[in-house]
Every structure is written in structure tokens, then in C-alpha cells.
Structure 1
Amino acid sequence: MTLSYPSSPWRYPILQLSGFLVLVFLVVSLLTNTLGWFSPPVSVQMMLDLSSSTYDRDFKSGKSLMAAEIEAVKAYAKENALSPNPNNLSLAGFADLVQPITNNFSADSEAIATALEQAVQANIFKQVGGGTNLTLAVESGINSLSSQLERCKEMLVVTDGAANLSPTQILRAQSHRVKLNFLIVSQTIPHNLAQAARDTGGLALSADVQNIQSLITNRLRQKFSSNSKFVKFFLSLALISLMWMLLFPLDRLLQNFLQIRFDHAGRIALFNAVFWTMMTFWWMGLPALQGC
């Protein structure tokens, strides 16, 4: 015995509503990805290596690392200012010592460019020494980001040194929810720094003078402002809606083609919708939207 439907399954309100929601969530996920909706508020502390090795001219490009860093940060700040939800940036130079370049966190690209020019004119590289004290740089960056209470915290360290980071600093970054990102120029990425980036949710990338600007303005800027979890969330809602939209068609398929009793077919179709709803929320549910 098969269930006699009073009308086509496609005319049931639950199926129509589910189909409508599938379309809505797909469109919202597309717009979120394209227009950058729901981008998190982010503060980025950039620590720029100004040790003596960064003054040397690169033989291929004729450009020093210090000059490349400055150009890359200016480009980042300029593109960042055009974003619907720009990051707040703070800059500091380091070698043996750490010297602030900006006084606070800001998204003002002109103010950031002016601060960089003033730092160069003031010979900031002479104030920070000639070595590479990475531990001190990260410590200073964490202290700076500790004031950014309501924002996601990202630190970017650009260096041509191969120094390691103490385990204490990695634990401190985790406790302050600071993501450590490293751009290692003309050096192999130390295992310690790669592990620190993974443990805190950051990236450790290898670079050279030629591509440093591209990595900072494109890959890292996109990573800092990523709203991918919201894109995945809306796609998850579309999948859930799709499973409920298929409730009656699946029930009819099980009855007519597999000759399953209508009561068993209904239970299987309902179980399928409930199962995928629970699994989808487990994989990417509301709790995943909390935090950075």
C-alpha cells in the first residue's frame, strides 16, 4: 500500500519554504564572499625588522629589504582604507630594541604613510641596534595588542633573520588570543616559528624582496579580514534547507521506486533531514561564529 498524496509534493508549503530558503542562503553566501559582509573587526600589529642586514641592497632588484617593507606597508594601508571594514594598524620597528613608528592603532592610510616617512627621516634604524631580538619584538607586539579588547588580534613580523621564539612567548600569545604571522625574507622558515604560527592560528610564509608587497597586501590582508566562516555558515544553512526541501520527494522516491512502505519511507526521509541538520550544525553551527 502506498500513500496517496492529495497533490504534487512540490506544492507542500514546507517544500516551497525550504526551496525559497535554499535560494536566499545561497545568494547571501555569494554576496558575503563577494562584498566582504560580516568581516570581523581586526587590529594588526606590524613588527618590521630594521636590523643592519635590511639596509643591504638586493642584487636582483636593487632594493633594500627596509625599503620593500615600507612600500609594502604603505600599499597595505592604502588598500585597507578602501575596505568596508578596514583593519586598525599599528607599526613598530625592531632589531636589538623595539621602536614604535605609529602612536596608536589607525586605519588612516595617509597618517600611516606620514609616520613611516618621519621614522625614516629620523633614522629609526639607528635607534634599534643591529641584531634581531625576535622575542622582544613579539613581547612588545602582544603588549600593544592587549589594549584591543573588542577586536581580533593579528601580529605580523617581517624579518630576514632566522631567530627562534621562546615557548613562553608562544603561550603568552595564545593566552592573549594573538595570532602570530611571520614573513621570513631570504631565509628558511625555522620550525619553531612555523609551529608558533600554527598554534596561534597564524601563517608563516617565505618571501623575498620581489614578492613581499604582494604577500602582505594580498594573501595576508585577505587572511586578516577573512569572513570565510560566515560564508560557510550560510552555505550550511542552504544545505539544511535543501535536506528539508527533499523531504517529500525522497519519501515519494522510496515508495514508488524502492517499494518501501509509506510509514517506513516517511521515517527514513525525516531521519535524513534531521540527521543532516544535526551534522551540519555540528560541523559549522552558531558556536563557530563566536570569537576570531
Structure 2
Amino acid sequence: MLDWLLDSDPAIRWRVERDLAGAPDVVWRSTRARVATEGFGARLLALQDDDGQWAGGAFFPADFDFDGPERDTGQPWTATTWSLNSLREWGLDPSVLQERRTAELLATNSRWEYDDLPYWGGEVDCCINAWTVANGVWLGLDVAELARWFVEHRLPDGGWNCEWVEGSTRSSFHSTLNALKGLLAFEVATGGTAATRAARRAGEEYLLQRSLFRRLSTGQPVAPWVTEFGHPFRWRYSVLNAADYFRDAALTDGRAPDPRMAEAIELIRAQRRDDGTWLQAGRPPGREWFEVDAGVGEPSKWLTLYATRVLAWWDAARSS
């Protein structure tokens, strides 16, 4: 299985080398540097517009018809935010985009489809704001004001909901996880503030109290999607997506895994096939630049990487 994972695009391979194969730093860093010049990373970089954007828009491509049939067939994944998310998650060295003056170009040329707001200021959607924080600190921007937005917009139950602007007062698993990822990226880059660190811990507690997949009110699974593992994750929650976040957070904070994750970990383990792989369950539909993972029902290298390293982290901590 390890050889199969290593036979991959540099965007995957460097993580396999670092997290599973125990390769020396010089090896995986060398592979990571190739993201800019080979495979997925190079292909996506070549699609960047002269104005710094991708597909001519901030969250939606410029040609998206909000009143047309595509509105009902799936969010397109080709616009600027989704493209930046991919490059960051693949491990692209931010200096590549800094040399292209991407952050400055977006500040000048890109506006959110919501109220025509400036790109790096964010908007009202907490998932969009979380990605903007993560992409901003990755590119070296000061996004402290947007990070504070999460402190001010956390709901009473501890998490976040992108539908707060519509009056929702209950947190969402999806929104909370995406907010946590943004706050963690902000802390890794800047150290965060007392307020952002407290907000992140409160959001983590929201998910941990629910064992990462149960309703607090009934104890029942919140929905079937908690165990539907699809890659790319995009905005979508699953226990695998959440467990991978908690692994990152625990390693950053120097904490042991929280025992309240135990049931979720076993849900992940249960989907491992005899050959050590996990299957692609699918992801939300929509236009993409190109495929980066296996088709539905096929072994997924990305999911296998995430699940294997989560289980390795969990099992090592429990056995020590």
C-alpha cells in the first residue's frame, strides 16, 4: 500500500513521505518543491488569470449563471477561493504566488459576489471567511481583523453556522469544522490571540461533546454524510475530515488525542479495506478544472493517506 501511495503526484507524495514513510526532511521537502512545476500544482498555476484570479471570480466563476440550470447541479470549484485552497492544501510554496503578486492583484481586482465586498476583507459566510483567513496567512497577509470576526460570530452553543445571517442560532458541523481550520491556520502562522485561541477551543468542544458525529439532543448520528468519505473535502464534513483536523490541532498544541473521538476513529477504521485502502464515496458535484482523485467506488490515495495517518496517530498515542 505504501508503494502505491508513493507512486503519486508530488502534491500527495510529499505528505506520504513525511507522515507515513518517515523520510528525512530533505527528501519530502524536495518532493514538495516539485508541486510548483509538476502535476496538479503546475496545471492549476497555469490556469491563473492575469488579474490574479481563477475563472474570473472570487467564489464563483465569472460565467456562472445564478438563475440558470447550473445553480441546481452543483457549486463550481474553479474560481479563485477554491483554487487557492487547493494549492495551499497541496503544499505549494507561497513564494510562487508572492512572486506573481497574487495577493495584491486580488486586493485590487477581486470582489465577493456577496455585496461586492473586497476579497481579503471576507464577507458574511463563515466558511468563506475561514478559507480567506487560511489563504491570507499562507500568502503573508495581515488577516487579524477577519480572524477576530470568528470570535464575534461564534454562536452560544460554541460553534458556527454559515446560515447565521438567515437567523440560525444553532451551530453546523460543516461550518464549525471549516471555521476551526481557518483559526488553526491563523494560530500556526501568527500565534493567534487569547480570544481566537479560546474560540477555537470552544469550537473543538462543540464537536467533541458530540463525539464528532452525534446529535447532543438524541445521541443519534447527525446525518449519513458523517461516514461518507469523499475527496476533495471542499466544505463537506465527515468524521475523517474532522479527525484529520484534530490530529493537526493536537500536534500543533502538543496535546494527546481526546478520548471522546474513540467512536469516530472506529468508524474510520471500519471502512479500511483488506488491502489497506479506503474507497472514494464521492463529493459534491460541480465543475472542476481537472480530476485529482479516484472515481466513486475506487481506492482513493488521498483518503487512504488521511485515514492511515489519523489511525497511526491515534493508535500510537493510545499504546504509549
Answer whether TM exceeds 0.5 for this pair. no
Identify which of structures 1 and 2 has the higher relative contact order when contacts are C-alpha pairs closer than 8 Å and 6+ apart: 1
TM-score by length of 1: 0.28
Bigger Rg, which one? 1
